[in-house]
Amino acid sequence: SFRVEVSAGSVLFRQGDAPTSAFLLEQGEIEVTTRHGEESRRLGVLVAGDLLGEMAVIDDSPRTATATALTDCVLTPIDRTQFAERLDDADPVVRALLLSQLTRYRSALAQLSGQREPAPSAQVRDARAQDAAVALDKIRLESELREALERRELEVRLQPILEISTNRVAGFEALTRWTHPERGPVSPADFIKLAEETSLILPIGDYVLAEVCNALRRIGGDGDAAPFVALNVSGRQLDDPGLLDRFLAALVAGGVAPRRLKIEITESLVLDYERVSGIIARCHGAGMKVALDDFGTGYSNLGHLHKLEFDTLKMDQGFIRQMSDPRCYAIVRAIVGMAHSLDCDIVAEGVETELQLRQLRELGCRYAQGWLIGKPLPVPEALALL
Ligand code: C2E
Ligand code: CA
Ligand code: CA
Ligand code: CA
């Protein structure tokens, strides 16, 4: 078996040893001690189910204590890579917290044993300091984002979406902007991702929706041709079971018809097909529309697409950018055709030139969005386009 057996009285590892593995104690008892001159101090006794020797493995430093079997013991060794690889993949904030606690623990231990701490090499120290700086900067930015939200400093802009055949602005996509007092504009790709790592995305999403409701009220209009606003919703928001009810309540309170709101779900989330089909059904039940965002970026399983009743496909800007290439043009034509066959509206994203717009018109693509039509605008400027 992979297990290790040690008999009562034997030493598993000694203070100062280089770490090779950690252990899970399966049976027996182990005493952990640290030396202080001639004297040995007991730090604790470990029993079945406890982990030992993990500290030195985590930061690759010499053992800070000696482990001696009090009874016959059975242990499962845990290779250092099992921790190291997970730590490398971990959130840098979590990694920095762990390492800073370990450092603190080690110096407390060194004091207790009256020994000097083994100093890490300059290289290790630099790498750790840099890791910690990155992590702290991230935490700081997150606090500032939370504050910006509280002070209502996030700005929701509206980017126009053109109905190509009528040359009329049919609706908008809401895109959120954050201008940091010192750093300047922070890309939403960055701050939304940061907010996504914690539940901060939920109040941000509610805030954006409230702003969108205000905008929809100001846009006004009634009937089927009234302009819509599309709202980006991320994975963690969709995990929140209360999200759609909150959205609906906000729409009702704002006196806005739910069909004027379109939820954009990015293609990478569609991998979880069951979940997305449930969300689409609930949106439709409440009267809201749903768009598949970034279509063609490589995540959609075409085998499932026919079962997902999206109202709109948003063709990723990558296709539009390369449309001057005949082969790419052929793909765009096929995507437009596919959307029509699925009875789905289609939006071309990232339209920047007259040529692209003309080509899209030829192909019968219904909607276009991009800098050529308009950048994401403050609400009053967006209203002026109607
Ligand atoms: P997205 O949903 O794919 O949004 C389209 C992005 O393309 C926007 O970037 C938009 O400004 C940009 N864009 C529009 N037209 C053009 C064009 O002609 N050329 C080029 N090069 N770019 C164009 P932005 O505003 O930086 O947003 C980045 C991403 O951040 C969005 O990608 C969306 O996924 C996310 N995001 C933005 N606001 C929100 C929000 O309020 N909530 C959530 N959950 N995500 C948001
Ligand atoms: Ca979008
Ligand atoms: Ca997106
Ligand atoms: Ca997109």
Of residues 224, 260, 263, 228, the one with CA closest to residue 243: 263
In a domain, 28, yes or no: yes
- Same domain membership, residue 190 and residue 70: no
- Same domain membership, residue 190 and residue 69: no
Looking at ligand 1, which atom is closest to the CA of residue 187? 26
In a domain, 317, yes or no: yes
Q: Return the best residue to mutate from 154, 175, 373 for the ligand 1 pocket (most ligand atoms within 8 A of CB).
A: 175
Residue 146 has pLDDT above 70, yes or no: yes
- Same domain membership, residue 75 and residue 172: no
- The answer to whether the CB of 364 is under 6 A from ligand 1 is no
CATH code assigned at 202: 3.20.20.450
Confidence of residue 112 (pLDDT cuts 50, 70, 90): confident
pLDDT attached to residue 1: 56
In a domain, 117, yes or no: no
Token output for 262: 């379109």
Which one is predicted more confidently, 163 or 267? 163
Domain boundary among 89, 107, 132: 89
Q: Specify the residue with its C-alpha closest to ligand 1, atom 7.
A: 350
Confidence of residue 319 (pLDDT cuts 50, 70, 90): very high
Residue 373 has pLDDT above 90, yes or no: yes
In a domain, 163, yes or no: yes
pLDDT attached to residue 68: 97
The pocket of ion ligand 2, defined by CB under 5 A, consists of 232, 264, 293
Distance CA 243, CA 249 (A): 10
Residue 118 has pLDDT above 80, yes or no: no
- By residue range, what is the domain housing residue 347? 155-384
Domain boundary among 34, 68, 89: 89
Looking at ligand 1, which atom is closest to the CA of residue 369? 15
- Same domain membership, residue 180 and residue 70: no
- Same domain membership, residue 298 and residue 208: yes
pLDDT attached to residue 151: 94
- Same domain membership, residue 312 and residue 166: yes
In a domain, 143, yes or no: no
The pLDDT tens digits of the residues spanning 330-347 come to 999 999 999 999 999 999
Domain boundary among 35, 63, 89: 89
- Centroid of ligand 1 to alpha carbon of 256 (angstroms): 24
Q: Specify the residue with its C-alpha closest to ligand 1, atom 24.
A: 188
In a domain, 164, yes or no: yes
The ipTM, to two decimals, is: 0.97
- Same domain membership, residue 187 and residue 80: no
Domain total for the chain? 2
Q: What percent of the chain has pLDDT over 90?
A: 68
- Same domain membership, residue 200 and residue 302: yes
pLDDT attached to residue 280: 95
In a domain, 103, yes or no: no
- Same domain membership, residue 291 and residue 168: yes
Q: Specify the residue with its C-alpha closest to ligand 1, atom 37.
A: 175
Confidence of residue 44 (pLDDT cuts 50, 70, 90): very high
- Same domain membership, residue 170 and residue 28: no
- Same domain membership, residue 355 and residue 249: yes
Residue 119 has pLDDT above 60, yes or no: yes
- Same domain membership, residue 341 and residue 232: yes
Q: Return the best residue to mutate from 200, 204, 232 for the ligand 1 pocket (most ligand atoms within 8 A of CB).
A: 232
CB 284 within 8 A of CB 290: yes
Give the Cβ contact number of residue 8 at 10 Å: 12
- The answer to whether the CB of 371 is under 6 A from ligand 1 is yes
Confidence of residue 154 (pLDDT cuts 50, 70, 90): very high
pLDDT attached to residue 303: 78
CATH code assigned at 44: 2.60.120.10
In a domain, 125, yes or no: no
Give the Cβ contact number of residue 276 at 10 Å: 20
Q: Specify the residue with its C-alpha closest to ligand 1, atom 15.
A: 370
